Amino acid sequence: MKSLAPLFALALGLRLLQPLASGAVVLGQTDNFEDGTTQNWVVGVGGQGTHPRPPANIPSGGPTGAGDHYLSLTALGGSGAGNRLSVLNFQHQWAGNYIAAGITGIAMDVNNLGTTALKLRLLFEDPIAGPPANEAFSIDPIDLQPGSGWQHIVFPIAPANLEADNGTVLAALTGATTLRIFHSTDATEPGEAIVALLGVDNVRAVPEPQTWVALAVALCMLGISRTFAARSRRRVLRG
């Protein structure tokens, strides 16, 4: 029996290279905030009160400098609305099946404009008309020191990189209705109160580099295997 590994590798490669037909989150989805809006990134969903300083589109000062828009996030500390550093995208461009879309990382440019060190994480969850049945957040945070300047970071989102706070990691990734960026020092969500100011830009759905390397190797080996088999058949036919 012929091995199915080459066919599986090819199918996987084609799936990673194609976006979902449904129009949900796709590989390469990017929010660069150049349209002057927050691109559906909000706070205060679910009756948490009105944030005194909600996410804002800043028209200049992003990673490329003058004229580069970015998203500004503010946390006020204390105990009222807006006390935590957290922003979410609910039922818009970041909802969908991340595994089917071939997305293994979320990249972004970030700048700690405040005076407090940050530990940034992602949260995937599936609330619609009620509390989420499945929630999964980053196990390992990305540290960002005050005065960091613009830094390019990538959150790996393979199931092994996430921990379920409710339900399962797999269900949270395959049926996400919400993607959240938040600060938490102790691997819990929604994180503790903090005074912070964070710039975010170029949020992008990507495969991790090793994913593309493995895919390229698999497709290359498939091509070599087919070439070798074709040459062998020609030799047999020639006698």
| H, E, C per residue of 155-222 | EECCHHHEEEEECCHHHHHHCECEEEEEECCCCCCCCCCCEEEEEEEEEEEECCHHHHHHHHHHHHHH
pLDDT at 20 over 90: no
Local confidence band at 11 (pLDDT 50, 70, 90 cut-offs) = very low
What is the per-residue pLDDT for 16? Answer: 39
> Does residue 189 contact residue 179 with C-beta atoms inside 8 Å?
no
Task: Give 141's DSSP letter.
Answer: P
pLDDT at 236 over 60: no
Nearest Cα neighbor of 145 from 122, 121, 119 is: 119
Percentage of the chain with pLDDT > 70? 75
Query: 178-212: b or e for each residue (b if 16 or more CB lie within 10 Å)?
Result: bbbbbbbeeeebbbebbebbbbbbbbbbbbbeebe
What is the per-residue pLDDT for 220? Answer: 54
pLDDT per position as a tens digit, 226-235 = 554 555 555 5
Nearest Cα neighbor of 172 from 126, 129, 128 is: 126
What is the per-residue pLDDT for 17? Answer: 40
pLDDT per position as a tens digit, 33-89 = 999 999 999 997 655 568 999 999 999 999 999 999 999 999 999 988 899 999 999
What is the per-residue pLDDT for 190? Answer: 79
pTM: 0.78
Question: What stretch of H or E contains 17?
Answer: helix 5-17
What is the per-residue pLDDT for 54? Answer: 96
**For the chain, the helix, strand and coil percentages under 3-state DSSP, each to the nearest 5:** 20, 30, 45
d(CA 125, CA 163): 12
Nearest Cα neighbor of 219 from 2, 13, 5 is: 13
pLDDT per position as a tens digit, 118-168 = 999 999 999 988 899 999 999 999 999 999 999 999 999 999 999 999 999
What is the per-residue pLDDT for 23? Answer: 42
Domains in the chain: ranges and CATH = 23-208 (2.60.120.260)
Helix, strand or coil for residue 70?
A: strand
Average pLDDT, the chain: 84
Local confidence band at 224 (pLDDT 50, 70, 90 cut-offs) = low
